[in-house]
Every structure is written in structure tokens, then in C-alpha cells.
Structure 1
Amino acid sequence: MGGRGARSLRPAHVLRRAAACRDACRPAASIEIDVPRARDPHHTAAPDRLENIVARPRNPARLVWDEDRQVWEIRDTIDGKRFKRRTQYGREDRRAAEGELALHVAEQARLEDERQAGSPDPEDPANSNPRLVSVAACLGFYGTRQEGTANGPLAGQHIINLLRHWKGKTLAQVRGETCRGFVKSRTAETYSAPGSTKLKPISISTARRELQTLSAAIGVWHREYALTARPIVSLPEAGAPHPDWLTPREYERLLKAAQGWDWTSSLLASREPVWERVPGWHLDAEDASDHLERFCEIGFYSGTRAAAVLDQRWNRTLDHGWMDLNGVTMHRSGPRVPKTRKRQPPCRIHDKLLPRLRVWREADLARGIEFVVHENGAELGRISKGFAAAAARAGLDRRDIDGTMRIGNLAAEDDIGMPTPHVLRHTRVTLMLRAGVPPIEVAEYAGMSLKMVLDVYGHHHAEYQQRAAAA
């Protein structure tokens, strides 16, 4: 978001106007004014002159000959401080030295453009007029404030996609017609998943999330510069939620696959799965890793998001989540971790998970390992690839609850996709509701809003419309 990429977030006409203003305000030469000071007969130590009573205007970048070293040097004033850098060129290489000076001027202009993109002049009245504020400048301003946050990478990807369609437009042009045009053109594009060559169309829900980022950017700009009229971003209708989840038997198969087994066939009489060890999987070897098994168990019993599970530590820390086994509490996030809309409240460790955690902790601390989920002591950033392989070995392409296929349907729009790590969160919420746990308690445990629990998962509750159906 920041760095060199931020310059592209300012439209060409704004950059040209800023450059013209800088050139107009830049003096042609250094000026120093010495103002004589009247003598004070009552002050015998008064000086004859008062120097530098008027501030010196900023000297432009220039070449100066260094007699001592016989080379050209670049002199400039940057942030009120004198800047000097010697080149490697002598007097006969004046043209090469001028080229290096041109590069210095261009780099300083780029840095100034980046600064302006991230922090426009708060005194400029144009920043309050939606007709004069470009969508690109607004998105760049928002992007700089998302740097270093958990939402930063996703916001950055959204901004890249938004700029392809909104470049050259101002905030005054953000209205229903242009928003609908964005959705239409965006959903006409395709993408391929990492590691896949199959092209898929961009969904309406993806375009909707990107427009939500645009709306958030406009809101941040408005709070900073008080737009005279705040544009309204028109969003397409949200699709009906259909979160996938696993039955207890499906999770048993997933856990078996995570332990290095492959469901190769089923017994004809009992339909029980026949498992074979994955070739090359030796759990007793010194370099064996049970990271996928740990991830599945913690995710299934706590309903914690994948990133928070991978961030867990055994000992208390301020910047990461940690397992308090004495307090029987899983702290999903450290106190110094920036808060986001995705809440990560502490939760009580499940009774079936606690004994396993105690065994894992004792083994890890004996080896000096601080991560709860690790691969031979190394921290993990993602686990989606290994999870996908385990889901395939467990035969999760077919749903046990209703017999429908998750993938491979005749109509591609009927596919809901193979389970991802997030399915463990959906599973925990669903199973708690089916067990009759009150929705408010489910919301507190999972770190969701009560509205989301009721809207997305409420029909799974054991008492859902029970009295209405019996009336």
C-alpha cells in the first residue's frame, strides 16, 4: 500500500498541478537578507547587524563544484535541512552529473507525491469538495491508514481492483449508476485460484466487498476533511448465507486424514471406511509433524479463525494469542494486537481439548518450542494447502447431512466448494446451536454478533420454530 506503489494513487492532473505549484513557489536562487539594526545608546553590547531575520527560501537542487575533491556534488534542502551528496564525476563529466541531479530531483518529487497522497493538505478547501477529490486520492489516503493492520493486505487488493475501474473519476461521480457499472464490469472478469489454471468468474459478493472498501475509504476521508456532500456507495443485494459445516462423523474422517491416513474404500456390509497410511508418512520419525492434527482439533473445539489458531503461543505474550491452561482459557489475541471488526475474545478451552493441549505443551516446552501449531518448531503462516489435501483424503466432496455434492455437480453454480479451514468455525457454531446452547452464549464464545448468529445459523438451533411447528 505505501512505499513506491502509492504514487500511482494520484491522478495525472493532480500531480501536474502539484508540480506546477512547487515550481512556481521555488526560488531561482538562494536569498539571504541582512537587515541593519539601529544602535541602542543604552545598550553598549548591541551588534551592528541582525542576520537571518527573514527566513531563507528553499534552495532548489543544484550542482556545486567541490574544489577539494574535484567532483560535482548535489546540494538541496530537504525537510528544512541541508542535503549534500558527492557524485563520482569530475569537471569534464558535467553531463553525467546533471543526469544524476535529474534522478535526485525526480526521486524527491516522487517522495513528495507519496506524502501528499497519504496526507493531503488539511487546509486545502478543495479536499472538502467531492467534485475536486479523485477516487484515486481517496483510496490512497485510506490505504496508507490500513498499512500494518490485519485488514491491510485485503484492503490493498481491493484498492488495486477498484482503481482499474474508478481511475479518472471524482467522488462526485460515485452514485448508483457508476456503482452498478462497476459490478457489471467486475463480474465480467475472471480469476484463477493460486496453483490452478482454471478460470472462474468474479462473483457479485466479491464486487460487493470491494465496494464496501470504497465506502469505507470515503468515510475515512469524510471524517478527516468534512465533505460538503458525502457520496453514497450503492451495493448489490447480499446473497443468502449458506455456510458449510461438518457433521461429527465427517470431522472424525477429517481428523483421521490429518493424522496421515487415506480413505481408500468402504466395507460393503457396514459401509465403514477402509484406511491406508499415506505413503511416506511416518509419525514416529524425528522430523514428523502433527501440526495439521493440532490445527483441526483447536479449530473444531474452539471455533477460532485459522489465523488466530496459527498465532497461538504456549506462554503469555502481549503481541500474540496464548493458551492459559491453568485458567482453562484460550486468549485468541494479545492485548497489544490492533483491534479489528473481526473480534477475537477469549474463550473457555473445551473439556475434550484440554488434555490434548497439556500433552502437546509439555512436549513442546521440553524442546524449547513456543508455538502451539508448528512444523518441527517452525511457525506456520498458512495451512490451507495441507487442509485441502486432508479434506480430499477424507472424502469430504459429499455432504453427509443431505447427500449433496460439494463439487462436481452438473451445474457449476451448485458447487459450494471443498471445505476450507474456516469450515471448522462454522461447524463449532452449528453444533453448539444444535445442542441447544443459547444463541447469545454461542455469540460470546465464537466472537460473533448475536445478529450474525441468528441470521446465518439460527435455523440450526434445537428449538428453532419448534413451538410454531407444533401449533
Structure 2
Amino acid sequence: MARPKRPGPWLDTRENGIHYACWYDERTGETKRISLRTRDSAEAQARFAEFLIKGHEIRRGQTGQLTVERALDDYFEEHVVKNCADAQRQKDAIAHLKAFFKDAPVTSIDVPTSQAYTEARVTGRIGGGKRRKKKEASPSTVWRELNVLVAAVNHAKWMKRTDYDVQVDYPQEKRLGEDDEAPFYDREELFRIFEEAAIWAEEEREKSPDDPNAGEIEPFITLLYYTGARRRSIENLTRSQIRMDQKRILLKQPGKVDTKKRQPIVPILKPMEPALKFLLATGREGRLFRCSDFYRPYRELMRRAGIPDFKAHPHIMRHTRATHLLQEGKPIYSVARLLGDTLATVERVYGHHSADHLGDILEEE
């Protein structure tokens, strides 16, 4: 006996905990659903009530037109949350995409609209957020965001919500080591950064003498430089990743999803020991740093140290470590192992800096 059709929309909860508004589509003979984008029951009830008031146009006649907003939301909830190591980056990209495409159907995504999105992002008409003054996005950022858009539509196609073959035009992207040099801090700039970090940390300790966590910027800078790691890897370090007896740090967190950005095991060098002992001695459980995002403090530190704005980004410290090691004549294989990069990547991105130093050595001979 067939299950009786429900007369109106109903609220449902999926295995992932997300609440959905569901209804039976008489036209297609199928049950439709739309995500309410929350796991909270009270919030879901409020959004469901809003759906009952405003959702009639979705249930009537437009169910075949999957919108960009809905495709992005479904992609985030059904794929990104479960499988992506850095969900926040994907979430930020989705916010920018939704601000531009809004409720346009996915079938409207093509080469001209993707070019229009690129123009809107690189000129700052879309994006930036409320707290960030700089609204313009780099071509590499737009490239990544368009990849998210394509992935969302392909996910919808895989879930049989659309049969649209999406095509976009990616912006021209510069490749470090080929079209542009990887920026780095010279020795004098690095000295000023370390000096200013120590001064800033001391100021924080004087302001909050009873706070054992004060002055985190100094150990953060130390570990960022000597490990050559990415910012997130240092920010999210936990006690279990530090092996002082073995003099090594396991940059990859247990259970973290593998990505193309490898997180190797790095050695604990003598300059790193005071920073690690400070972090381990403050009694933290779990994460070593209280601060979960050092991006803005890092920018402020660069301003205090007189570093140009175009180099005021934490990733420049990774470039700096690799460049300095190559300039010191360290084997490129060792540098690649430290960074978790391939030999080809290290040679392409950083080789031109070491070439200048190599020229000086050859001239001496």
C-alpha cells in the first residue's frame, strides 16, 4: 500500500543534523526539500515558519530551477563540512559567491557571468567583509572561489538536482617563480619583526601580569619562521603534536583530512625551545594558543615593524624561511622536506632568490 501524500510542507531532520523544509511536488510527483541551514531546533522552527510564509514561490513552478544560493548551501552542508580540512575558507568563498549570484538559477552560470564575477571581485564591488578595509581580491583568490562554484554545481549534478554542465572563465593567475617572485623578508626586516614581537609581548605582560597567556605573538612568530609552516598549522597546534623528548613537531593533527597541502614532521631547533616551553608551561589543555586567528595581530606587528603592506601577510614568513635556507646553501631536498613541498615547487618558487646568492659565490671563485 502506497504511503499517503502529506497535505502540506513539513519539517525534517537529516542524519547530519541539519533541518530541512520538505513538501510534495504534485507536478513532478517527487518530495522536495530545502535546507534551513541550522542544527538548532528552535532556530529551525523559526525559519520553517518563515518558509511557510515566503516559500510558496519555491514550491510552485520553480522547483526545476536550482538556484546558485541553494546549490552552494547544499554543497557546504553535504560535502564541505564532512570532507574539507579548511571549511572556513570554503565558507568565505561561498559568502562572496552568494553576494553576487544570489537567487539566480545555476543555468545562468557561464563564461560572461564568471567574467562579471571576476571583475566585481578584483575591483572590490563584492567582498571584503565588514572588518576588512581591503575589498579587492587577487586573481588567485577569484580562481579558488570559482572552483568552489563549479564544485557546487557538479555536486548538485551528482545528487541529480540538475543536469547542467557548468563552464566558467578563470582569471589570469600569476605563478610564483615564473610570472612573479615570491616576496620574503630580508635579514634586517626579519630582525625588526622579532625585535618588535618581543617588545609587544613584554607590553602585554606588563598590562596583564596575572595572565599567563599574555604575549603569545612572540612564540607564534618564532614557530612560524623556524618551522616554515602555514599559519593555520601553527595556530591550531595541540599538546599532543609536540614531542619535546623526540625534538619534533607533528604538524598534521590526528584525524585531520588529508589535503594537497602536506603537513610534515618538523624538527624542534634550539631557537624554538623557549617558545614551546612557554606554551607548554601555561597550563593550556588542547590547543597551545589562546588566540585562534593571528592574521590581524600579525598585520599589526608588521605595521609596528615598518614592513610594507604587500608583505604584511603570515605566509610571507614561509617564503622567508625557505629563501634564507637556500641562500645559506642548505640542500634543496632538506628545504622541500621541511616545507612539505616537492623539489620542483621549491626550485620554481624560491630558486631565483638562491640564484642571486649562488652568483656571489661563483664570482668569488
TM-score where L is the length of structure 2: 0.70
Alpha-carbon offset, residue 282 of structure 1: 2.2
Return closer, same or farther for 1:456/1:359 CA change in 2, 3 Å cut-off.
same
Amino acid paired to 1:323: I
Partner SS state of residue 352, structure 2: helix
Distance 2:196 2:349 in 1: 29
Residue 154 (str. 1) matches residue 73 (str. 2): no
1:457 equivalent in structure 2: 350
Residues 362 and 187 of structure 1: CA distance in aligned 2, closer, same or farther (over 3 Å): closer
**Residue 235, structure 1, aligned to residue 170, structure 2:** yes
Counterparts of 1:179-194 in structure 2, within 5 Å, are 179-190=114-125
- Structure 1 alignment gaps of length 5 or more: 1-53, 63-75, 80-105, 118-130, 263-276, 317-321, 397-405, 408-415
Match for residue 188 of structure 2 among 249, 262, 284? 249
- Aligned AA (1:140): D
Q: Against the structure 1 CA distance between its residues 139 and 461, is the aligned structure 2 distance closer, same or farther, given a 3 Å change threshold?
A: same
**Conserved 8 A contact 1:180-1:234:** yes
From 252, 271, 295, give the equivalent of 1:352.
Answer: 271
Letter in 2 for 1:301: Y
CA positional deviation for 1:347: 1.8
Contact 2:67 2:106 in 1 (8 A): yes
The aligned residue for residue 224 of structure 2 is: 299
Give, in angstroms, the shift of residue 234 of structure 1: 1.8
- Partners of 2:92 and 2:207 lie apart in 1 by 39
Deviation, structure 1 residue 245 = 1.7
In structure 2, relative to structure 1, the CA distance for the partners of 1:199 and 1:328 (3 Å cut) is closer
Q: CA RMSD in A?
A: 4.1
Q: Aligned to 2:341, what secondary structure does the other structure show?
A: coil
Gaps of 5+ in 2: 14-19, 25-30, 38-63
Q: Which residue of 2 aligns with 1:139?
A: 72
Q: Tell me the SS of whatever aligns to 1:238.
A: coil
Instruction: Give % identity.
Output: 22
Q: Which residue of 1 aligns with 2:257?
A: 338
* Greater displacement, 134-143 / 293-302: 134-143
Aligned-partner Cα distance in 2 for 1:204–1:147? 26
Question: Quick one: which of 268, 283, 286 aligns to 2:210?
Answer: 286
Is the Cα–Cα contact under 8 Å of residues 21 and 36 in structure 2 kept in the other structure? no
TM-score (norm 1): 0.56
Q: Which amino acid aligns with 2:335?
A: V
Report the structure, 1 or 2, having the larger helix content: 2
Q: Which has the higher strand share?
A: 1
Residue type at the aligned position of 1:209? R
Residue 238 (structure 2) aligns with: 313
Match of 2:284 among 349, 369, 373: 369
Tell me the distance in 1 between the aligned counterparts of 2:219 and 2:137: 34
Provide the C-alpha distance between the structure 1 equivalents of 2:348 and 2:11, rounded to a whole number of angstroms: 60
Q: Residues 180 and 329 from structure 1, CA distance in 2 versus in 1: closer, same or farther, beyond 3 angstroms? A: same
Contact preservation (8 Å) 1:433, 1:442: yes
Match of 1:382 in 2: 293
Greater relative CO, 1 or 2 (CA 8 Å, sep 6+): 2
> Where does residue 177 of structure 1 map in the other structure?
112
Question: How many residues align structurally?
Answer: 317
- Contact map agreement 2:35 2:73 (CA 8 A) in 1: no
CA drift at 1:302: 0.1
